[in-house]
Structure 1
Amino acid sequence: MKNTFIALAAALACSGAAYAQSNVQLTGLVDMYAGSLKAPAGERTSAVGSGGMTTSWWGLKGTEDLGGGLKADFNLTAFFRADTGDMTRGIPSDTFFSRDANVGLSGSFGRVGLGRDKAPNFLPTILSNPFGDSFVVSPLVLHANVPNFAAGWTNAQTTTGTDTGWSNQIIYSTPSFGGLKANVHYQFGEQTAQGKRGKKNVGANVLYGAGPLSLVAFYERVQIAKPTGIDVQDTKTDWMVGGNYNFNVVKLYGTYGQAKIKAQTLPVDVKNTTYSLGLDVPVTTAGTIKAAAAHTKSEVGAAEGKRTTFTVGYDHFLSKRTDVYGAVMYDRIKWTESKSGTSVVAGIRHRF
């Protein structure tokens, strides 16, 4: 009997050690704002919205230590709208786990991941502007990803080729070399229809951060808009370089990039050129004043349009996980005629 208890205790000890090497975390972020919104060519709307500074999301993340420096990880995270409870970003046909749905292996070689994950454009864009990944008030994010059809600013005028996340992809991430890291992306098109086979998305980004200096760059060649269906688009190439430098009294941001579409189904070629500037000014130990501007020149054949957006705001952290913010944005689109709009928002963001 004594030997039985010893064996059972040893087994439980081994089980506990194995369990300690694995973890699963429930994590996410809730961001809500109230404000008065007016987009160019749109009507003014007073609303309570979700995702003023960061799109609200939740999900499960986990890692397992496989020994010998090798680890397995998974990410299953979903966007949601906290104002309505909808489990989407507000994009038609958005999948449930549209933020992340991937599994990977990592070690001294870096990481190899499979599934839905960030597109090459995402990290460089949010790291090189003071409003991060705000799809409501960040000038650079709006110019890169958000069209305004009412004012004539369509998907062809945005900088990125498709979504900020890609499905059906393989990602290889290098280890960090003195603050320098790269990610290589290959998205399978998975098309079977004649004339659509072999279509795919490829891209890469490079991130550098050491001391006060951060530098970023990305390149994409996009042919697939929605890999879940037969949705092949004209080939769009886009690239951007950017970065920021922290002087302590002020943090400066800047980017420059171009996007081109070679006409196939479109009647003419398209070329978009975007640059942006921004700054963070600490005014207290917990609060910063933020300002940013982005300008895009779009050439569609012989036609030319311009979009200019300015935002000024303030972000104050109440704790490491909770902050409150306010921002005023002016957005102007000049296409066949000039249209503009001004929006004012105030909100709260909580991480868990």
Structure 2
Amino acid sequence: MIPVGLLGLAAAGAAHAQSTVTLFGVIDQGISYTSNAGGHNQWSMAGGVLQGSRWGLRGSEDLGGGLKAIFLLESGFDASSGKFTQGGLLFGRRAFVGLADAHVGTVTLGRQYDDVVDYVGVFADRAFGGGYVAAHPGDIDNFNNGYRTNNSIKYESANYSGLHFGGMYSLGGVAGEFTRNQTYSLGAGYEHGPFSLAAAYMNVRNPNISFFGNSSTSAPSTGAANIASPVYSGFASARTYQVIAAGGAYRIGAATLGATWSNIQFTHLGDTAESGVNPSGYRGSAHFNNAEVNVQYQFTPAFSMTAAYDYMKGSSVSSATGQNGGATYHQGALSADYLLSKRTDVYIMGVYQHASGTDSRNQPAVAAINGLTASTSSSQATVHVGLRHRF
């Protein structure tokens, strides 16, 4: 027989430990036209262009005293074929568990977003309305969140009168080499009325394996670049990949003006244990500066349009055959979105990109809109019409 006192304590514990679990998801599907995909015009069905298709579970348990246990499991999929995205991983978008306190902040453990995505990526056009095709060339700064971080410990502060900040550290897990394959990032943001501003930093060791290769269903290749885009696939031999970024937005009536800047560096080129990832014999460092301006206008509660221009310039870098002068990319994007209901909308978007100079493969630069097969020429354009439903 259980003592009455213990029954009382159990009842009190049950009253505090209130749990919630929510099923959520997005299905985004449409038709695309691309002017030059590997040398040919292409019509195709494409999914997740405006927002990646996904389903997931999120939950929390009240532990009392303002403390909660939380979790998130999020799986990406392609509605065109039913396949998992993120390299075929079951919960490839995110998977974490943690503790949250309204006054102290949140600590989570698992597969997560870095702070560049969380703090600065939200100010880029890909978040406003341009989708992944409007991401910066090759998603080189990861604003579009093409790469997640495994084995990560993450902290996000509470909101202190508009100021919030955080940090993330991913353990490399290599015996005897504490820093190998590690990733860390820091970020901070501030919001006051119509004004928002943020800055972030990310540093990745051995990025060809630890960052660009971590969406694979098996061990990533150590004999080739785990990067698809010609914009920077030639720099896979870098010991370190680094992003410094800042962004902001300002609301004026129905308009929101936004801007981002990022500096991307691939340092210690050729200083890697993997073979076959440095065919051009690069040495030293390569860096890119990227700047974007964008505007979103809400014509009615149901209808909005966005426009953006992005400019990226790459540095020169020493190769086995001489000096690579670097590449320059110009990109423009225009999109429109119409809400049929609170959960369903239709949209159209177009992106044009022009490239010049010499790209990371040590070849004449070709246009390479993010997520598409690269062009065989200096120019590429795409138009996509889609339908999105959220649940």
Query: Which TM-score applies when normalising by structure 2?
Result: 0.76
1:236 aligns with 2:218: no
Match of 2:251 in 1: 246
After TM superposition, give the deviation of residue 142 of structure 1 in Å: 3.4
Q: Paired residue for 1:319? A: 341
Secondary structure of 1:123's aligned partner: helix
SS of residue paired to 2:239: strand
Q: Distance in 1 between matches of 2:342 and 2:151?
A: 35
Residue-by-residue CA offset, 1:122-167 (whole Å, 9 max, x unaligned): 12343112331865332xx23362xxxxxxxxxxxx2349954211
Structure 1 residues 209 and 320, CA, compared in 2 at 3 Å: closer, same or farther?
farther
For residue 272 of structure 1, report the CA deviation from its aligned partner.
0.4
Q: What is the SS of the residue equivalent to 1:127?
A: helix
SS in 2 for 1:137: helix
Deviation at 1:68, TM superposition (A): 0.5
1:319, distance to aligned residue in structure 2 (A): 2.0
Among 34, 42, 48, the alignment partner of 2:45 is 48
Which sits farther off after the overlay, 301-310 or 239-248?
A: 301-310
CA–CA separation in structure 2 for the residues paired with 1:208 and 1:96: 35
1:326 positional shift: 0.4
Tell me the amino acid that sits aligned with residue 324 of structure 1.
V
1:332 aligns with 2:354: yes
The reply to whether residue 127 of structure 1 matches residue 122 of structure 2 is yes
In 2, the alpha carbon distance for the partners of 1:204 and 1:40 equals 37
Q: How far, CA to CA, are the matches of 1:284 and 1:98 in structure 2?
A: 36
C-alpha spacing 1:15/1:222, structure 2 compared with 1 (3 Å):
closer
Partner of 1:262: 267
2:287 aligned partner: 271
Q: In 2, Cα distance between the equivalents of 1:131 and 1:323?
A: 17
Q: Distance in 1 between matches of 2:381 and 2:355?
A: 12
Which runs of 5 or more residues in structure 2 are unaligned? 1-6, 223-236, 271-277, 318-322, 359-363, 366-376
Equivalent of 2:166 in 157, 160, 183? 183
Distance in 2 of aligned mates of 1:326 and 1:166 = 31
**2:126–2:132 contact (8 Å) kept in structure 1:** no
* Pairwise CA distance, 1:298: 1.0
Quick one: distance in 2 between partners of 1:242 and 1:42?
A: 35
Q: Do residues 216 (structure 1) and 201 (structure 2) align?
A: no
State which of 25, 29, 32 in structure 1 corresponds to 2:26. Answer: 29
Equivalent residue number for residue 166 of structure 1? 149
Matched, 1:137 2:122: no
- 1:189-231 C-alpha deviation (Å, 9 max, x unpaired): 1123x7x542211111112222111112110111143446586
TM-score computed with the length of structure 1 as normaliser: 0.84
> Structure 1 CA distance, aligned partners of 2:37 and 2:106?
43
Deviations 1:26-76 (A, max 9, x none): 111111111212457543211111012011111111000000111000011
How far residue 11 of structure 1 moved from its aligned partner, in angstroms, is 11
State how far apart, in whole Å, the 1-side matches of 2:43 and 2:151 are.
38
Q: Structure 1 124/144 Cα, relative in aligned 2: closer, same or farther at 3 Å?
A: farther
Letter of the 1:241 partner, please give it.
A
Bigger mean CA offset, 329-338 vs 66-75: 329-338
Gaps of 5+ in 1: 1-8, 146-157
**RMSD (Å), alpha carbons:** 2.8
Deviation at 1:291, TM superposition (A): 0.3
Aligned residues: percent identity? 27
